[in-house]
Chains A and B, each alone.
Chain A
Amino acid sequence: MKQAQRGLIAVVLLLLLAAVLQLPESCTAFVVPVITTTTTLSPTMTSRTASDTSSALHSSAGSTDDGESSNKSSSKSSKSNSSSNSNFLDKLFEEENNKLFNKYDIDNSGTIDKNEFKSVVKKMNKESRRREVFSIVSATLGSIFVASSSNTFQFGQKKFRSKYLEPNAELAMNENFPTALLSSDCEKLIFKTLHKRGFTPSNTLLGHSVCSDEVNTRGEQIIPLMIERWNKKGFALGGKF
């Protein structure tokens, strides 16, 4: 049960991470326009730094190593922006652009100088580190989830089986086999009793005598569950040929 809960927590965290990981993309989308604006407006910033940062941020930002060509392309870009001002999306973009620019233009000089640019770079680095941490954490949690999948499944099956079972089959089972238990529950009860009596996977050899039908070898069946529990071994008393 503890493992099942761990699996459940892992799933929750994965879902949250998936949601959170969307944020850096949007941040990047807003940071790129800031840099573009910077290259247009800031004579104090060296063109070399601007182009490096821009390409590090977004390869498709259109920046080059040449400062002049960068300025030219930026001018073209501002011309095209002004011509499509009627477009709502462009308007929105401009607003966001200005908002972000004002945020980083701390002294309200209308340009982003070297010190202000530092804060942009800091923000970028922070985002980059955050992504790395998220990648590692999600990989770790993913592997925990994978490791405890069987338990997660058993927990999910027990909790939500009433939503998808076949009512006639359930009724027939209750009428004809009234004390039937989910295989996973039954397996745990057997283990609990035997463990108290000193049965452990290392000192016990499992033997099973069930029909050769493939339905009895499905992962959630009692025999595969017991084989998994009891040292991954089992002697087939039904014989094998």
Chain B
Amino acid sequence: MFELFFLSLSLSLSERCEEEPEKVSGSSRFYDVFSQQFKSFRCLFLLNNKHTHAPPPIIYFTGLAGLPFAGKSGFGAYLHHVPDNGKLLVIFAPHVGIDAEGQIGGLQRDGQLKVSNACGAAIGAYKALQSKNKTPNDPLLVYNTLQPENIDIKFDPQLEQIVNLLAPRLKGIDESQNSISFVTYQMYGIIRELITACITQTDDLFDYTTEIAVVGGVIINRRKGGDFFQPLSFETRKRCLSGDTKKIDPPIDLYEETFGVHPNLQSIMGSKQALDRASIVSS
């Protein structure tokens, strides 16, 4: 009984309170039905924390694909808002969906029956490069949902940036285990380089803060079973002990202390060069 109660509780949080699209997958059918029994209860008792503790899912019109489009100016503003003698904590990540069939780059969103792309911007950029014959043809079905007008970059400055940054990193994609995983890891590399550039090119960084920690990884969106984060880097930079605020020392790696050994991603990426291009430390 207890187990079933929590099962329902878990399910309720991974789904919305309103009616869901009909799902007919055999094994999950029982749980779906069971979950329905608790619908009114969970609405009343906040089992769905989207309606209580956390904000509801909304789109912020921020950077696409996780790139720090606020740039150095935005980073400067962020730095100047830190509490006196305080610390900065930056987290960055591209995201990728995985649908029920295990297709990387697909995601069934709340209230939708069809599977759509996640991350749409990264896949859109990849598709745009494919249309220019800059990458081998990729027969993955998930791309078919992208219409030609959606990959037209004429009036899409952020996507244009993403395409330009992604293009030189796609070498070796045909040797990878999965093209969308490859693109996602490369997106991670792009964001990491941009964040690092913002930090190292900010001269007055340690005039305002004593330490800056940076966590990087990949967000994995799932319909069921919870959302995941694959950490790929965790480092911190401290104000120089000599007191020279203009000097930025190399970062201190906190990854192994926090998460254990680095993952070995070479077989997934296909080559060491591809890993290096994505700025991924591999064991």
Instruction: Give the interface of A toward B (CB within 8 A).
Output: 11-12, 15, 142, 145-146, 149-150, 152-153, 155-157, 159-161, 163-166, 168-173, 175-184, 186-187, 189-190, 192-194, 197-199, 202-226, 228, 230, 235-241
Inter-chain CA distance A165–B98, complex, in Å, is: 12
B residues in contact with A179, CB < 8 Å: 230-231, 259, 263
Contact B211 A197 (CB under 8 A): yes
Contact B100 A168 (CB under 8 A): yes
24 A-B Cβ contacts within 8 A? A149-B45, A156-B6, A164-B10, A169-B99, A169-B225, A171-B102, A172-B104, A178-B265, A178-B268, A180-B218, A180-B220, A180-B229, A181-B229, A199-B213, A205-B81, A205-B88, A212-B62, A213-B120, A218-B57, A220-B13, A222-B91, A225-B54, A239-B62, A239-B71
Please give me the residue from chain B that is nearest to A192 by CB atom: B258
**Residue among A146, A157, A177, A225 making CB contact with B46, cutoff 8 Å:** A146
Contact B223 A166 (CB under 8 A): yes
Contact A166 B218 (CB under 8 A): no
Determine whether B191 belongs to the interface, using a CB cutoff of 8 Å to chain A.
yes
Q: Given that A209-B92, A209-B191 are contacting pairs, would A169 and B223 also be in contact in the complex, using a CB cutoff of 8 Å?
A: yes
Q: What's the minimum C-beta distance from A129 to chain B, rounded to whole angstroms?
A: 27
Q: What's the minimum C-beta distance from B223 to chain A, rounded to whole angstroms?
A: 7
Inter-chain CA distance A155–B178, complex, in Å, is: 32
Contact B70 A238 (CB under 8 A): yes
Determine whether B125 belongs to the interface, using a CB cutoff of 8 Å to chain A.
no
B residues in contact with A15, CB < 8 Å: 5
Q: Given that A177-B181, A177-B220, A239-B74 are contacting pairs, would A211 and B90 also be in contact in the complex, using a CB cutoff of 8 Å?
A: no
Determine whether B43 belongs to the interface, using a CB cutoff of 8 Å to chain A.
no
Beyond A190-B215, A214-B58, list 14 extra A-B contacts (CB 8 Å): A11-B5, A156-B7, A159-B6, A169-B222, A173-B220, A181-B228, A182-B228, A203-B86, A204-B87, A209-B68, A211-B64, A215-B227, A222-B229, A237-B92
Contact A216 B226 (CB under 8 A): no
A residues in contact with B259, CB < 8 Å: 179, 181, 186, 189
Q: What's the minimum C-beta distance from B2 to chain A, rounded to whole angstroms?
A: 8
Inter-chain CA distance A169–B226, complex, in Å, is: 11
Contact B228 A183 (CB under 8 A): yes
Contact B50 A209 (CB under 8 A): no
- Identify which of B45, B107, B228 gathers the most chain A CB atoms within 10 Å of its CB: B228
- Identify which of B74, B219, B257, B259 gathers the most chain A CB atoms within 10 Å of its CB: B219
Contact B64 A164 (CB under 8 A): no
Interface band, chain B: 35 or more
Closest 9 CB pairs of A and B: A238-B63, A219-B54, A238-B62, A168-B102, A165-B225, A172-B102, A156-B6, A180-B230, A209-B92
Inter-chain CA distance A210–B221, complex, in Å, is: 13
Contact B49 A150 (CB under 8 A): yes
Contact B263 A230 (CB under 8 A): no
Contact A193 B234 (CB under 8 A): yes
Please give me the residue from chain A that is nearest to B65 by CB atom: A211
**Residue among A145, A180, A190 making CB contact with B258, cutoff 8 Å:** A190
Contact A160 B10 (CB under 8 A): yes
Please give me the residue from chain B that is nearest to A172 by CB atom: B102
Inter-chain CA distance A222–B216, complex, in Å, is: 12
Contact A186 B86 (CB under 8 A): no
Contact B66 A222 (CB under 8 A): no
Contact B86 A215 (CB under 8 A): no
Q: What's the minimum C-beta distance from A152 to chain B, rounded to whole angstroms?
A: 7
Determine whether B155 belongs to the interface, using a CB cutoff of 8 Å to chain A.
no
Q: Given that A169-B100, A199-B89, A238-B67 are contacting pairs, would A222 and B227 also be in contact in the complex, using a CB cutoff of 8 Å?
A: yes
B residues in contact with A171, CB < 8 Å: 102
Contact A215 B57 (CB under 8 A): yes
Q: What's the minimum C-beta distance from A127 to chain B, rounded to whole angstroms?
A: 27
Inter-chain CA distance A236–B74, complex, in Å, is: 9
B residues in contact with A219, CB < 8 Å: 13, 48-50, 53-55
A residues in contact with B118, CB < 8 Å: 213, 215
A residues in contact with B100, CB < 8 Å: 166, 168-169
Inter-chain CA distance A181–B58, complex, in Å, is: 24
Contact B49 A149 (CB under 8 A): yes
Please give me the residue from chain B that is nearest to A204 by CB atom: B87
B residues in contact with A226, CB < 8 Å: 89, 91
Inter-chain CA distance A14–B263, complex, in Å, is: 43
Contact A164 B45 (CB under 8 A): no
**Residue among B78, B92, B236, B268 making CB contact with A176, cutoff 8 Å:** B268
Please give me the residue from chain A that is nearest to B32 by CB atom: A164
